Amino acid sequence: MAITSRDLRSAEVVRRTRPTTVITLPQTRQRYSSRSVGFGVHNKFAYAICIILALFLANAMFSPIVSWFKVKYDDVKYGRPRTMQTTAFVGHDETNGLPSHFVAMNMERRIVIVEMPGGDPAKARTIVGPYLFGAGEDLTPVSLRFADVNADQRLDMLVSVKQEEMVYINDASSNQFRMITSEELAKLQQ
């Protein structure tokens, strides 16, 4: 059976003339329960959990960025390998009026201090410090400062690595620095 255009037109007419029915529903007032309005205890708890999770996420995202900037700052300040240098009058062959020159380095996790008494590199002495353990310790800066810790009128060397400080006593008999002994440390802590 073939469909002609007349059959199509008559179907359109039937569709247009078909009555439409509109159903209206009675209006009801919406009532809200006390649980769905406002900030209930459960909503506050969920809100607090979301904030805590957002803070953890922000910490996880920004910690590597802050660490990267700290490493770059230390690269600019100390270089690679981490190196710091200073001068001080410590009483070691400083007869020419020049201070002793000190270079502190973190050489692949080993702290090394080079002292040039009176600024003379021909008389250079090396002080080998501790070995640093842990990942990334080859990038830990080392710093030096001088103070008279044992009240012998000679400047002693304080080596700072991370949050720790090691004391090297300026020994008058050998005219060199040596590590502090446990007896001297106990005496200083009294």
**pLDDT confidence of residue 106:** 93
pLDDT tops 70 at residue 14: no
- Domain map (residue ranges) of the chain: 41-78, 82-189
Tens-place pLDDT, residues 142-154: 999 999 998 889 9
Percent over 70 (pLDDT), the chain: 81
Sign of CA dihedral 148, 152, 156, 160: negative
Percent over 90 (pLDDT), the chain: 53
Average pLDDT on 102-121 reads 93
Average pLDDT on 105-117 reads 94
**pLDDT confidence of residue 17:** 60
Average pLDDT on 166-172 reads 91
- Nearest CA-CA partner of 141 in 151, 128, 132, 152: 132
Tens-place pLDDT, residues 52-72: 999 999 999 999 999 999 999
- With cut-offs at 50, 70 and 90, classify the pLDDT of residue 167: very high
Distance between CA atoms of 117 and 124, rounded to whole angstroms? 7
**pLDDT confidence of residue 45:** 87
**pLDDT confidence of residue 12:** 58
**pLDDT confidence of residue 32:** 57
Q: 82-189, which class in CATH?
A: mainly beta
**Helix, strand, coil % over all residues of the chain, rounded to 5:** 35, 30, 35
Distance between CA atoms of 13 and 159, rounded to whole angstroms? 100
